[in-house]
């Protein structure tokens, strides 16, 4: 193709104008390809759907409304196909002029636009034919709306008086130069660094080159002298990898004692342990090991143990004095995860009666005074960091789609900027995969004439052998782009990063104590976070940070600091844990920052409703058993309750599958239709939970084979993890004396067992459920006022569902929707009551992993909660 050849040729030319033309072309091309691909996916999906519906239509099994929808779909397919023919030039509309004259091109564009418009107008109404892609798109748009919507209109117009031209690249604003030149000083620095890099360093040399090394002896002295020490040093100084080794070298691991180091993230614990094992010349799992939920990579030999903060918290249950540790490092304290915050209170307590125990609180930011004050004015050891200047760039206007903007920026950097790797912050695996695919396609289209771009993703579920890729040194002449979640903000340091791209978002679990609901939400980051991200560009030399938002947004729309997790999450887990540790007065526990009292009260309510606490707030036998399981109390209740229904075998599988349900299905872009078709085969009556059960059992029947996963479009790694999780949970069942029995092919007992734990997450199709009325109404509503099944009349229900498929939570009458991926979509008649696993907020609040239940079960299985009047 001529255009592409030209692109390649231009890429070879080394004058700047030509290179810029390449970028422009690329940008258009990638956008167009992206749009076409999306269209194709949508079309494929529609076709697939209509195939099933044809039969319903033929057999006259459709309501009038459904027939209308069906007709619309057909029309939509027709229009989309017609448009594709226009795009392909196979519709007979193409005139020779279209290729040759400017006017002809314009005319063609006009015809296309008219068609596009017809297509836009015929777009389905909201809530119909939603695919994941649509959802994702919509959520992106939603986020931008949020951001621009928050702006004061006048200010926007005043500050951003320009016309945005789609064909232009992203215009970044000032505070540095983007033209690829550097000041003489910066250039000199870069040269110096390049020279230093050339001589390959041995592991020892690398260790000694870290900023913390100079302070090794001083640090050890301070540790010997003070029981608690707060260590502050810039990210990448060597806190995580070196401090435990220093302690080991200084003899803290003699006599079978261990040094423990906590990490807020699973990936960090694994990758850092691997690195340190390397540095110490030992195999991972021997002297150096890690422990994360459902995976223990330690042995009797292990003296340096990296673990997630949640795992250390669980160790308190078996060994309340943590007597095997001589020293504990609470690392990344600034992240303020829920578990770290709880650990603070607990380790402070054990330090009192274990005077020989050493505590290090290590943090990347200067907010260390707060930690020091909390630990009775512990001394702060400040390791001065090295930092190079970072030029800041902002976009001129809010970007509508930050993935697209990020890809464009990567190409802009790749083609115009001197050597140096790129780090892009995204919010999760889905985004990382979408971006990776997008980048790969664009690079592929460019051919091998542009320098190589190595794409290295990193997120929590990435298999560990692939995680290593981000640390591999970039070969000469190539450039690496790391697509990372927030994990690269402080937990992991990637050497060689010179350019940082920050879209300004993070995925967080947010909990609303008023409604008692939590959901995963993509939110703007804080200014502190943004500064930390930008700082990642200045570690090896002078760097550049590209913020995909405006300076105005930075100043006016971001919070100063991130809100600690303890103040924005459900605490039922923590309360159950503290209770089982014998800490009865949870409200007055020694918290660094107190959680809202309302949240604690909600947790008590939930634990009481689950039967884990009695009416005096004391731990029950059930609660004690529940605390043994490293899962949410609602899940552990379901597991234990399943013994009453003799279906623990099935419930264990379902619960293990739920843990990984986000990453089970393999849906490659080019085979999406096949994959979706294959996945449809697994649907079972009884809801998504049974589909999950079916997947696992079929895989087990196939001897857990990898080939089976390949044929059925499943992620092998995820299923293997499910099996591991299941084995562990089964082991714990034994410990708390739950006998694992099986009821194959039965639905209701399994549904009931799960409902006994998950009654909080239920919704009904009725309007009248509301906590604003006396709680006694629940019971009369469920088992009295309506029919004997506790259901509303067919008419009201149908009218309600027709209004857009919305349901109301039984807890607080909040509107939620069945996720389009659920097998409950389109179920006839629609279920009146649904139990869900989790809520995700994209364009709406969606319930993921849904199961139809009977309304009467609620008062039967959760009498504490639904029969409060008694």
Among 453, 457, 431, CA closest to 548:
431
Pairing of β 172-173 and β 390-395: antiparallel
Structure tokens at 352: 């009192």
- Binder among 46, 228, 267, 274 for ligand ADP (CB under 6 A): 274
- Binder among 182, 272, 392, 540 for ligand ADP (CB under 6 A): 272
Strand partners, 232: 363, 382
In the complex, least distance from residue 212 CB atom to Mg ion, rounded to whole angstroms? 10
Structure tokens at 623: 């609660």
In the complex, least distance from residue 212 CB atom to ligand ADP, rounded to whole angstroms? 7
Q: Site mask, ligand ADP, residues 157-196, x = CB under 6 A? A: ----------------------------------------
Partner whose footprint covers residue 116, from ligand ADP, Mg ion, none (CB < 5 to 8 Å by kind): none
Q: Which residues in the 230-259 window bind ligand ADP by CB under 6 A?
A: 233, 235-242
Considering beta carbons, is residue 234 or 399 the nearer one to Mg ion? 234
In the complex, least distance from residue 274 CB atom to ligand ADP, rounded to whole angstroms? 5
Question: Given its phi and psi angles, is residue 406 left (phi above 0), alpha (psi -120 to 50 degrees) or beta?
Answer: alpha
Does 603 engage in binding with ligand ADP (CB under 6 A)?
no
Q: Where are the beta strands (DSSP E) in 463-588?
A: 479-484, 497-502, 505-512, 517-524, 543-547
In the complex, least distance from residue 279 CB atom to ligand ADP, rounded to whole angstroms? 9
In the complex, least distance from residue 239 CB atom to ligand ADP, rounded to whole angstroms? 3
Does 679 engage in binding with ligand ADP (CB under 6 A)?
no
Q: How far is CA 747 from CA 336, 385, 502, 753, 819, in A?
A: 42, 60, 47, 10, 22
Taking residue 635's Cβ as centre, other Cβ atoms within 10 Å add up to 23
Q: Which residues in the 224-263 window bind Mg ion by CB under 5 A?
A: 239-240
Considering beta carbons, is residue 230 or 754 the nearer one to Mg ion? 230
Considering beta carbons, is residue 235 or 715 the nearer one to ligand ADP? 235
Does 263 engage in binding with ligand ADP (CB under 6 A)?
no
In the complex, least distance from residue 385 CB atom to ligand ADP, rounded to whole angstroms? 9
Structure tokens at 97: 């002029």
Q: Site mask, Mg ion, residues 185-224, x = CB under 5 A? A: ----------------------------------------
Considering beta carbons, is residue 21 or 193 the nearer one to ligand ADP? 193
- Residue 633 has phi, psi (to 5 degrees) of -55, -30
Among 585, 576, 580, 594, CA closest to 637:
576
In the complex, least distance from residue 537 CB atom to ligand ADP, rounded to whole angstroms? 14
In the complex, least distance from residue 278 CB atom to Mg ion, rounded to whole angstroms? 16
Q: Show contacts of 147-152: CB within 8 Å, 24+ apart.
A: 147/398, 147/524, 147/549, 147/553, 147/557, 148/398, 150/557, 151/398, 151/552, 151/553, 151/556, 151/557
Instruction: Determine the length of the chain.
Output: 870
In the complex, least distance from residue 231 CB atom to ligand ADP, rounded to whole angstroms? 9
d(CA 604, CA 864): 12
Considering beta carbons, is residue 363 or 653 the nearer one to Mg ion? 363
Pairing of β 815-818 and β 304-308: unpaired
Q: Which segment (155-163, 270-278, 508-516, 665-673) binds ligand ADP by CB under 6 A?
A: 270-278
Helix/strand number for the chain, H first, E second:
35, 22
Q: Which segment (107-115, 267-275, 394-402, 514-522) binds ligand ADP by CB under 6 A?
A: 267-275
Considering beta carbons, is residue 139 or 240 the nearer one to Mg ion? 240
Q: How far is CA 609 from CA 287, 573, 582, 813, 864, in A?
A: 45, 14, 20, 19, 5
Q: Which residues in the 124-183 window bind Mg ion by CB under 5 A?
A: none
DSSP string, 106-163: HHHHHHHHHHHHHHHHTPPPTTSS--HHHHHHHHHHHHHHHHHHTS-HHHHHHHT-S-
For residue 356, cis peptide bond before it (omega within 30 degrees of 0): no
Considering beta carbons, is residue 331 or 557 the nearer one to Mg ion? 331
Considering beta carbons, is residue 306 or 344 the nearer one to Mg ion? 306
Contact 363, 396 (CB under 8 A): no
**In 660-767, alpha helices (H):** 672-680, 688-701, 706-711, 716-735, 748-758
Q: Which residues in the 470-489 window bind ligand ADP by CB under 6 A?
A: 471
Does 348 engage in binding with ligand ADP (CB under 6 A)?
no
In the complex, least distance from residue 238 CB atom to Mg ion, rounded to whole angstroms? 8
Considering beta carbons, is residue 297 or 750 the nearer one to ligand ADP? 297
d(CA 671, CA 668): 5
In the complex, least distance from residue 499 CB atom to ligand ADP, rounded to whole angstroms? 17
Q: Which residues in the 437-476 window bind ligand ADP by CB under 6 A?
A: 471
Interface size with Mg ion, residues (CB under 5 A): 2
Interface size with ligand ADP, residues (CB under 6 A): 17
Considering beta carbons, is residue 295 or 441 the nearer one to ligand ADP? 295
Cα 726 to its chain centre, rounded Å, is 22
In the complex, least distance from residue 239 CB atom to Mg ion, rounded to whole angstroms? 5
Return residues touching Mg ion (CB under 5 A).
239-240
Return residues touching ligand ADP (CB under 6 A).
210, 233, 235-242, 271-272, 274-275, 471, 493, 495
């Amino acid at each position: 193709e001529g255009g592409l050849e030209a692109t390649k040729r231009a890429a070879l030319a080394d004058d700047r104008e030509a290179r810029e033309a390449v970028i422009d072309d690329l940008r258009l091309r990638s956008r167009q390809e992206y749009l076409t691909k999306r269209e194709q996916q949508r079309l494929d999906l529609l076709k697939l759907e209509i195939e099933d519906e044809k039969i319903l239509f033929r057999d006259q099994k459709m309501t009038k409304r459904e027939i209308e929808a069906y007709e619309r779909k057909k029309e939509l397919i027709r229009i989309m196909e017609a448009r594709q023919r226009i795009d392909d030039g196979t519709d007979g509309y193409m005139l020779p002029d279209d290729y040759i004259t400017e006017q002809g091109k314009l005319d063609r564009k006009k015809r296309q636009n008219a068609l596009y418009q017809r297509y836009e107008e015929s777009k389905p109404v909201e809530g119909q034919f939603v695919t994941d892609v649509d959802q994702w798109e919509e959520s992106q748009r939603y986020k931008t709306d949020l951001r621009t919507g928050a702006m004061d209109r006048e200010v926007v117009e005043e500050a951003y008086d320009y016309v945005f031209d789609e064909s232009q690249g992203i215009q970044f604003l000032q505070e540095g130069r983007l033209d690829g030149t550097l000041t003489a000083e910066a250039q000199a620095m870069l040269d110096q660094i390049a020279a230093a890099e050339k001589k390959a360093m041995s592991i020892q040399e690398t260790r000694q080159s870290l900023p913390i090394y100079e302070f090794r002896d001083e640090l050890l002295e301070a540790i010997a002298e003070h029981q608690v020490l707060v260590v502050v040093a810039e990210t990448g100084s060597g806190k995580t990898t070196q401090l435990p080794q220093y302690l080991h070298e200084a003899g803290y691991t003699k006599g079978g004692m261990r040094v423990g180091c906590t990490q807020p993230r699973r990936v960090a614990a694994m990758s850092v342990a691997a690195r340190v094992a390397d540095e110490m010349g030992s195999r991972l799992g021997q002297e150096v090991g890690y422990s994360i939920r459902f995976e223990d990579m330690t042995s009797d030999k292990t003296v340096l143990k990296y673990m997630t903060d949640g795992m250390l918290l669980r160790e308190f249950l078996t060994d309340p004095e943590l007597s095997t540790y001589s020293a504990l490092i609470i690392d990344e304290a600034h992240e303020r995860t829920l578990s770290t915050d709880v650990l603070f209170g607990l380790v402070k307590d054990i330090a009192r009666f274990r005077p020989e125990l050493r505590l290090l609180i290590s943090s990347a930011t200067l907010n260390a005074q707060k930690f020091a004050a909390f630990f009775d004015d512990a001394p702060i050891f400040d390791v001065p960091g090295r930092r190079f200047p970072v030029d800041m760039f902002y976009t001129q206007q809010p970007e509508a789609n930050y993935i697209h903007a990020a890809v464009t920026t990567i190409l802009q950097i790749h083609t115009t900027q001197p050597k140096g790797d790129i780090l892009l912050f995204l919010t999760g695996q889905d985004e990382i995969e979408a971006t990776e695919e997008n980048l790969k396609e664009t690079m592929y289209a460019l051919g091998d004439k542009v320098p190589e771009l190595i794409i290295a993703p990193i997120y929590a579920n990435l298999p560990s052998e692939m995680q290593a890729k981000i640390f591999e040194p970039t070969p000469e002449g190539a450039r690496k782009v790391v697509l990372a979640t927030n994990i690269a903000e402080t937990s992991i340091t990637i050497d060689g990063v010179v350019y940082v791209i920050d879209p300004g978002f993070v995925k967080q679990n947010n909990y609303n104590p008023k409604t008692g609901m939590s959901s995963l939400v993509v939110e703007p980051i804080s200014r502190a976070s943004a500064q930390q991200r930008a700082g990642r560009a200045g570690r090896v030399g002078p760097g550049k940070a590209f913020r995909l938002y405006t300076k105005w947004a930075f100043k006016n729309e971001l919070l100063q600091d991130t809100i600690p997790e303890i103040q924005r999450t459900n605490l039922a887990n923590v309360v159950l844990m503290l209770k089982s540790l014998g800490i009865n007065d949870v409200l007055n526990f020694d918290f660094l920052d107190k959680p809202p009292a309302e949240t604690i009260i909600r947790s008590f309510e939930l634990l009481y409703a689950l039967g884990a606490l009695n009416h005096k707030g004391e731990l029950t036998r059930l609660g004690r058993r529940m605390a043994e399981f490293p899962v949410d109390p609602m899940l552990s209740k379901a597991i234990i309750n399943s013994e009453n229904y003799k279906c623990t075998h099935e419930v264990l599988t379902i619960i293990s599958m739920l843990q990984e349900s986000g990453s089970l299905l393999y849906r490659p872009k080019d085979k999406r239709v096949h994959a979706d078709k294959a996945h449809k085969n697994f649907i079972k009556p009884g809801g998504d939970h049974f589909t999950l059960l079916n997947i696992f059992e079929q895989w087990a029947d196939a001897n857990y084979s990898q080939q089976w996963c390949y044929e059925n479009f499943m992620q092998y790694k995820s299923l293997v993890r499910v099996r591991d999780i299941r084995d562990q949970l089964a082991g714990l069942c034994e410990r708390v004396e739950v006998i694992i029995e099986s009821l194959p092919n039965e639905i209701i007992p399994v549904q009931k067992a799960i409902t006994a734990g998950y009654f909080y997450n239920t919704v009904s199709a009725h309007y009248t459920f509301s906590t604003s009325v006396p709680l006694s109404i629940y019971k009369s509503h469920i088992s009295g006022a309506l029919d004997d099944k506790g259901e509303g009349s067919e008419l009201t229900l149908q009218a309600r569902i027709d209004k857009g498929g919305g349901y109301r939570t039984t807890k607080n009458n909040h509107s939620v929707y069945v996720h389009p991926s659920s097998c409950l979509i389109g179920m006839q008649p629609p279920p009146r009551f649904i139990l869900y696993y989790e809520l995700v907020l994209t364009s709406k609040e969606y319930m993921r992993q849904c199961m139809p239940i009977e309304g009467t079960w609620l008062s039967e299985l959760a009498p504490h909660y639904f029969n409060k009047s008694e």
